[in-house]
Amino acid sequence: MHIVFIMEKKIIEKKLVIVGAGPAGLTAAIYAARAGLDPLVLEKGLVGGQVAVSSIVENYPGYASISGAELSAKMRDHAQSLDVEIDEFDAIERAELSDSAKRIITESKIYEPTAVIIATGAVPKPLLVRNEARFRGKGIHYCALCDGAAYKGKTVGVVGGGSAAVEEALYLSNIAEKVIMIRRKSSFHAEKAILKRAERTPNIEILYNTDLIDVGNSADENKESNGGGDFLDYALVSDTRTLEERKISLSAVFTYIGSAPRTELLRGSVELDKYGYIEAGDDMRTSVDGVFAAGDVRTKKYRQIVTAVSDGAIAALSAEKYIMQKTGKN
Protein backbone atom coordinates (compact mmCIF):
# COMPACT_ATOMS: atom_id res chain seq x y z
CA MET A 1 0.00 0.00 0.00
CA HIS A 2 1.42 3.39 -1.04
CA ILE A 3 0.40 6.55 0.86
CA VAL A 4 0.89 10.16 -0.28
CA PHE A 5 -0.34 13.32 1.47
CA ILE A 6 -2.05 16.06 -0.58
CA MET A 7 -4.33 18.91 0.44
CA GLU A 8 -4.45 17.49 3.99
CA LYS A 9 -5.97 14.26 2.69
CA LYS A 10 -4.03 11.04 2.41
CA ILE A 11 -3.95 9.46 -1.03
CA ILE A 12 -4.06 5.71 -0.51
CA GLU A 13 -3.48 3.24 -3.29
CA LYS A 14 -5.45 -0.01 -2.92
CA LYS A 15 -5.96 -3.04 -5.09
CA LEU A 16 -9.67 -3.16 -4.32
CA VAL A 17 -12.21 -0.88 -2.67
CA ILE A 18 -15.69 -2.22 -1.97
CA VAL A 19 -18.41 0.36 -1.42
CA GLY A 20 -21.17 -1.04 0.78
CA ALA A 21 -21.18 -3.58 3.62
CA GLY A 22 -24.38 -5.50 3.03
CA PRO A 23 -24.42 -9.22 2.12
CA ALA A 24 -23.01 -8.52 -1.36
CA GLY A 25 -20.21 -6.27 -0.13
CA LEU A 26 -19.23 -8.51 2.79
CA THR A 27 -19.21 -11.61 0.58
CA ALA A 28 -17.06 -9.79 -1.97
CA ALA A 29 -14.70 -8.81 0.84
CA ILE A 30 -14.43 -12.43 2.06
CA TYR A 31 -13.60 -13.73 -1.40
CA ALA A 32 -11.22 -10.86 -2.11
CA ALA A 33 -9.39 -11.32 1.20
CA ARG A 34 -8.94 -15.01 0.53
CA ALA A 35 -7.46 -14.06 -2.85
CA GLY A 36 -4.92 -11.79 -1.15
CA LEU A 37 -6.37 -8.55 -2.49
CA ASP A 38 -6.41 -6.77 0.90
CA PRO A 39 -9.84 -5.19 0.27
CA LEU A 40 -11.13 -2.08 1.98
CA VAL A 41 -14.88 -1.84 2.63
CA LEU A 42 -16.45 1.62 2.90
CA GLU A 43 -19.86 1.86 4.60
CA LYS A 44 -21.52 5.06 5.72
CA GLY A 45 -24.62 3.34 7.11
CA LEU A 46 -25.36 0.12 8.91
CA VAL A 47 -23.03 -2.84 8.33
CA GLY A 48 -25.24 -5.63 7.06
CA GLY A 49 -27.46 -3.37 4.97
CA GLN A 50 -31.19 -4.02 4.91
CA VAL A 51 -30.63 -7.53 6.26
CA ALA A 52 -29.44 -6.09 9.56
CA VAL A 53 -32.88 -4.57 10.17
CA SER A 54 -34.90 -7.55 8.96
CA SER A 55 -36.79 -9.32 11.71
CA ILE A 56 -36.57 -12.97 10.67
CA VAL A 57 -34.78 -14.61 7.76
CA GLU A 58 -36.18 -18.02 6.82
CA ASN A 59 -34.89 -18.54 3.28
CA TYR A 60 -31.12 -18.47 3.73
CA PRO A 61 -29.49 -21.90 3.29
CA GLY A 62 -28.20 -23.42 6.51
CA TYR A 63 -30.58 -21.52 8.77
CA ALA A 64 -34.19 -22.58 9.15
CA SER A 65 -34.76 -19.30 10.98
CA ILE A 66 -32.36 -16.56 12.01
CA SER A 67 -32.72 -12.87 12.79
CA GLY A 68 -31.39 -10.47 10.21
CA ALA A 69 -29.18 -8.83 12.81
CA GLU A 70 -27.60 -12.16 13.73
CA LEU A 71 -27.05 -13.19 10.12
CA SER A 72 -25.41 -9.89 9.21
CA ALA A 73 -23.23 -10.08 12.34
CA LYS A 74 -22.03 -13.54 11.29
CA MET A 75 -21.13 -12.18 7.85
CA ARG A 76 -19.24 -9.28 9.39
CA ASP A 77 -17.40 -11.53 11.82
CA HIS A 78 -16.39 -13.81 8.95
CA ALA A 79 -14.98 -10.89 6.97
CA GLN A 80 -13.11 -9.47 9.93
CA SER A 81 -11.66 -12.90 10.77
CA LEU A 82 -9.82 -12.51 7.45
CA ASP A 83 -8.53 -9.06 8.52
CA VAL A 84 -10.87 -7.19 6.19
CA GLU A 85 -10.85 -3.49 7.00
CA ILE A 86 -14.35 -2.01 7.29
CA ASP A 87 -14.46 1.79 7.52
CA GLU A 88 -17.88 2.85 8.81
CA PHE A 89 -17.20 6.46 9.67
CA ASP A 90 -15.69 8.14 6.60
CA ALA A 91 -18.50 9.22 4.29
CA ILE A 92 -17.86 9.28 0.54
CA GLU A 93 -17.99 12.77 -0.94
CA ARG A 94 -17.67 11.74 -4.58
CA ALA A 95 -16.46 8.97 -6.85
CA GLU A 96 -14.46 9.56 -10.01
CA LEU A 97 -14.54 6.35 -12.04
CA SER A 98 -13.19 5.88 -15.54
CA ASP A 99 -11.50 3.15 -17.56
CA SER A 100 -8.09 4.69 -16.96
CA ALA A 101 -8.31 5.94 -13.37
CA LYS A 102 -10.44 5.51 -10.26
CA ARG A 103 -10.70 7.81 -7.27
CA ILE A 104 -12.99 7.62 -4.28
CA ILE A 105 -12.87 10.77 -2.19
CA THR A 106 -14.07 10.54 1.40
CA GLU A 107 -14.20 13.17 4.11
CA SER A 108 -10.63 12.43 5.21
CA LYS A 109 -8.95 10.34 2.49
CA ILE A 110 -8.56 9.83 -1.23
CA TYR A 111 -8.48 6.21 -2.38
CA GLU A 112 -6.99 5.26 -5.73
CA PRO A 113 -7.93 1.60 -6.24
CA THR A 114 -7.12 -0.64 -9.15
CA ALA A 115 -10.67 -2.01 -9.05
CA VAL A 116 -13.95 -1.04 -7.38
CA ILE A 117 -16.98 -3.10 -6.41
CA ILE A 118 -20.17 -1.11 -5.88
CA ALA A 119 -22.49 -2.85 -3.42
CA THR A 120 -24.40 0.09 -1.99
CA GLY A 121 -27.79 -1.64 -2.09
CA ALA A 122 -31.13 0.13 -2.07
CA VAL A 123 -33.27 2.05 0.43
CA PRO A 124 -37.00 1.82 1.14
CA LYS A 125 -39.21 4.02 -0.99
CA PRO A 126 -41.29 6.61 0.85
CA LEU A 127 -45.08 6.48 1.04
CA LEU A 128 -45.43 9.89 -0.62
CA VAL A 129 -48.48 10.84 1.41
CA ARG A 130 -48.96 14.45 2.47
CA ASN A 131 -48.18 13.95 6.17
CA GLU A 132 -45.31 11.51 5.77
CA ALA A 133 -42.57 13.94 6.78
CA ARG A 134 -44.56 15.18 9.76
CA PHE A 135 -45.10 11.71 11.23
CA ARG A 136 -41.84 10.08 10.20
CA GLY A 137 -40.56 8.44 13.37
CA LYS A 138 -43.82 9.39 15.08
CA GLY A 139 -46.00 6.70 13.61
CA ILE A 140 -44.54 6.20 10.14
CA HIS A 141 -41.72 3.68 10.12
CA TYR A 142 -39.72 1.63 7.65
CA CYS A 143 -38.33 -1.05 9.96
CA ALA A 144 -40.47 -3.21 12.25
CA LEU A 145 -37.44 -4.65 14.01
CA CYS A 146 -36.18 -1.16 14.82
CA ASP A 147 -39.45 0.44 15.92
CA GLY A 148 -42.07 -2.26 16.40
CA ALA A 149 -41.50 -2.72 20.14
CA ALA A 150 -42.87 0.77 20.79
CA TYR A 151 -46.33 -0.39 19.66
CA LYS A 152 -46.84 -3.34 21.97
CA GLY A 153 -50.55 -3.96 22.50
CA LYS A 154 -51.59 -1.40 19.88
CA THR A 155 -53.03 -1.55 16.36
CA VAL A 156 -50.59 -0.97 13.52
CA GLY A 157 -50.77 -1.00 9.74
CA VAL A 158 -48.43 -2.49 7.14
CA VAL A 159 -48.34 -1.22 3.55
CA GLY A 160 -46.88 -3.33 0.75
CA GLY A 161 -47.47 -6.36 -1.41
CA GLY A 162 -44.25 -8.33 -1.35
CA SER A 163 -42.66 -10.89 0.94
CA ALA A 164 -40.99 -8.19 3.04
CA ALA A 165 -44.35 -6.64 3.92
CA VAL A 166 -45.87 -9.98 4.90
CA GLU A 167 -42.81 -10.97 6.94
CA GLU A 168 -42.95 -7.71 8.87
CA ALA A 169 -46.68 -8.12 9.47
CA LEU A 170 -45.98 -11.55 10.97
CA TYR A 171 -43.24 -10.09 13.14
CA LEU A 172 -45.50 -7.27 14.32
CA SER A 173 -48.32 -9.71 15.09
CA ASN A 174 -46.23 -10.93 18.02
CA ILE A 175 -46.02 -7.42 19.42
CA ALA A 176 -49.14 -5.50 18.44
CA GLU A 177 -52.70 -6.28 19.45
CA LYS A 178 -53.71 -6.13 15.81
CA VAL A 179 -51.99 -5.74 12.44
CA ILE A 180 -53.90 -4.38 9.45
CA MET A 181 -52.31 -5.02 6.08
CA ILE A 182 -53.23 -2.38 3.52
CA ARG A 183 -52.93 -3.79 0.00
CA ARG A 184 -53.98 -1.68 -2.96
CA LYS A 185 -54.39 -4.71 -5.25
CA SER A 186 -56.47 -7.89 -5.00
CA SER A 187 -53.47 -10.13 -4.39
CA PHE A 188 -49.89 -10.23 -3.09
CA HIS A 189 -46.67 -11.09 -4.92
CA ALA A 190 -45.22 -12.59 -1.76
CA GLU A 191 -44.00 -16.15 -1.17
CA LYS A 192 -47.03 -18.41 -0.80
CA ALA A 193 -45.77 -20.04 2.40
CA ILE A 194 -45.47 -16.82 4.37
CA LEU A 195 -48.70 -15.40 2.92
CA LYS A 196 -50.58 -18.46 4.17
CA ARG A 197 -49.07 -17.96 7.61
CA ALA A 198 -50.31 -14.38 7.62
CA GLU A 199 -53.79 -15.42 6.53
CA ARG A 200 -53.91 -17.93 9.38
CA THR A 201 -52.68 -15.46 12.01
CA PRO A 202 -55.72 -14.38 14.10
CA ASN A 203 -54.64 -10.80 14.74
CA ILE A 204 -53.69 -10.00 11.14
CA GLU A 205 -56.42 -8.45 8.99
CA ILE A 206 -55.81 -7.99 5.26
CA LEU A 207 -57.57 -5.17 3.44
CA TYR A 208 -57.40 -5.91 -0.28
CA ASN A 209 -58.13 -3.25 -2.94
CA THR A 210 -57.36 -0.58 -0.38
CA ASP A 211 -55.05 2.37 -0.95
CA LEU A 212 -53.40 4.48 1.74
CA ILE A 213 -54.31 8.12 1.08
CA ASP A 214 -52.84 9.86 4.11
CA VAL A 215 -52.20 9.62 7.84
CA GLY A 216 -53.07 12.05 10.59
CA ASN A 217 -53.98 12.76 14.17
CA SER A 218 -57.60 13.23 15.18
CA ALA A 219 -56.65 16.43 16.98
CA ASP A 220 -55.98 17.97 13.56
CA GLU A 221 -59.72 18.55 13.22
CA ASN A 222 -59.78 20.53 16.41
CA LYS A 223 -58.95 24.13 15.55
CA GLU A 224 -57.92 24.76 19.16
CA SER A 225 -55.28 22.02 19.08
CA ASN A 226 -52.59 24.28 17.56
CA GLY A 227 -51.83 22.00 14.65
CA GLY A 228 -52.95 18.67 16.02
CA GLY A 229 -51.20 15.89 17.89
CA ASP A 230 -47.58 14.87 17.55
CA PHE A 231 -48.22 11.20 16.75
CA LEU A 232 -50.49 9.72 14.12
CA ASP A 233 -53.58 7.88 15.33
CA TYR A 234 -55.37 7.13 12.08
CA ALA A 235 -54.86 6.27 8.43
CA LEU A 236 -57.09 7.56 5.65
CA VAL A 237 -57.70 4.80 3.09
CA SER A 238 -59.67 4.49 -0.12
CA ASP A 239 -61.37 1.53 -1.77
CA THR A 240 -59.68 1.29 -5.17
CA ARG A 241 -62.90 0.03 -6.78
CA THR A 242 -65.52 2.38 -5.31
CA LEU A 243 -63.15 5.24 -4.31
CA GLU A 244 -64.95 5.39 -0.98
CA GLU A 245 -62.70 6.85 1.71
CA ARG A 246 -62.67 6.01 5.41
CA LYS A 247 -60.48 6.35 8.47
CA ILE A 248 -58.82 3.46 10.27
CA SER A 249 -57.63 3.88 13.84
CA LEU A 250 -53.91 3.06 13.88
CA SER A 251 -50.96 3.91 16.10
CA ALA A 252 -48.39 3.34 13.37
CA VAL A 253 -47.88 2.53 9.70
CA PHE A 254 -44.93 0.41 8.56
CA THR A 255 -44.21 0.69 4.87
CA TYR A 256 -42.64 -1.86 2.52
CA ILE A 257 -43.37 -0.67 -1.02
CA GLY A 258 -40.07 -1.27 -2.73
CA SER A 259 -36.66 0.32 -2.78
CA ALA A 260 -34.57 2.88 -4.64
CA PRO A 261 -30.91 2.19 -5.51
CA ARG A 262 -28.14 4.09 -3.76
CA THR A 263 -26.41 5.35 -6.88
CA GLU A 264 -26.43 9.13 -6.42
CA LEU A 265 -22.61 9.31 -6.35
CA LEU A 266 -22.32 7.27 -9.54
CA ARG A 267 -24.40 9.30 -11.96
CA GLY A 268 -22.21 10.28 -14.87
CA SER A 269 -19.66 7.57 -14.06
CA VAL A 270 -21.29 4.21 -14.76
CA GLU A 271 -24.26 3.35 -16.92
CA LEU A 272 -27.57 3.24 -15.02
CA ASP A 273 -30.99 2.07 -16.14
CA LYS A 274 -34.03 4.35 -16.12
CA TYR A 275 -34.70 3.50 -12.47
CA GLY A 276 -31.17 4.33 -11.36
CA TYR A 277 -29.89 0.76 -10.99
CA ILE A 278 -26.40 -0.07 -12.27
CA GLU A 279 -26.29 -1.91 -15.57
CA ALA A 280 -24.07 -4.97 -15.00
CA GLY A 281 -23.79 -8.35 -16.65
CA ASP A 282 -23.60 -11.84 -15.21
CA ASP A 283 -19.91 -11.25 -14.46
CA MET A 284 -20.87 -8.08 -12.54
CA ARG A 285 -18.89 -5.87 -14.92
CA THR A 286 -20.27 -2.37 -15.42
CA SER A 287 -19.77 0.04 -18.30
CA VAL A 288 -16.48 1.17 -16.71
CA ASP A 289 -13.49 -1.13 -17.00
CA GLY A 290 -12.48 -2.32 -13.53
CA VAL A 291 -15.73 -1.30 -11.84
CA PHE A 292 -18.12 -4.04 -10.76
CA ALA A 293 -21.60 -3.98 -9.21
CA ALA A 294 -23.15 -6.52 -6.84
CA GLY A 295 -26.38 -6.97 -4.95
CA ASP A 296 -29.56 -4.93 -4.94
CA VAL A 297 -27.89 -1.92 -6.54
CA ARG A 298 -27.62 -3.60 -9.96
CA THR A 299 -30.22 -4.46 -12.56
CA LYS A 300 -31.62 -7.92 -11.84
CA LYS A 301 -34.93 -9.74 -11.67
CA TYR A 302 -34.70 -11.12 -8.13
CA ARG A 303 -33.38 -9.29 -5.09
CA GLN A 304 -32.81 -11.74 -2.26
CA ILE A 305 -30.02 -12.26 0.26
CA VAL A 306 -28.80 -15.34 -1.58
CA THR A 307 -28.66 -13.51 -4.91
CA ALA A 308 -26.74 -10.64 -3.29
CA VAL A 309 -24.24 -13.11 -1.82
CA SER A 310 -23.85 -14.75 -5.22
CA ASP A 311 -23.26 -11.37 -6.84
CA GLY A 312 -20.63 -10.52 -4.25
CA ALA A 313 -18.68 -13.71 -4.89
CA ILE A 314 -18.79 -13.25 -8.67
CA ALA A 315 -17.81 -9.59 -8.41
CA ALA A 316 -14.77 -10.47 -6.28
CA LEU A 317 -13.68 -13.20 -8.67
CA SER A 318 -14.09 -10.87 -11.65
CA ALA A 319 -12.20 -8.12 -9.83
CA GLU A 320 -9.37 -10.53 -8.97
CA LYS A 321 -9.01 -11.49 -12.63
CA TYR A 322 -9.03 -7.83 -13.67
CA ILE A 323 -6.42 -6.84 -11.07
CA MET A 324 -4.14 -9.71 -12.03
CA GLN A 325 -4.33 -8.63 -15.68
CA LYS A 326 -3.63 -4.98 -14.81
CA THR A 327 -0.65 -5.83 -12.62
CA GLY A 328 0.71 -8.44 -15.00
CA LYS A 329 0.37 -11.28 -12.51
CA ASN A 330 -2.14 -13.41 -14.36
CB atoms within 10 A of CB 172: 27
Q: What is the 3-state secondary structure (H, E, C) of 181-211?
A: EECCCCCCCCCHHHHHHHHHCCCEEEECCEE
239 is catalytic: no
Catalytic choice (90, 146, 211, 239): 146
Q: Are strands 252-255 and 109-118 parallel, antiparallel or unpaired?
A: unpaired
211 is catalytic: no
Q: CB–CB of 119/290 below 8 Å?
A: no
147 is catalytic: yes
DSSP 128: -
| 3-class state of residue 19 by DSSP | strand
User: Which of 239, 220, 242 has the alpha carbon at shortest distance from 231?
Assistant: 220
Cα–Cα distance between 125 and 120 in angstroms, integer? 15
Cα–Cα distance between 180 and 173 in angstroms, integer? 10
Catalytic choice (143, 214, 296, 311): 143
CB atoms within 10 A of CB 67: 17
User: Which of 233, 288, 282 has the alpha carbon at shortest distance from 266?
Assistant: 288
Query: Which residues are annotated as catalytic?
Result: 143, 146-147
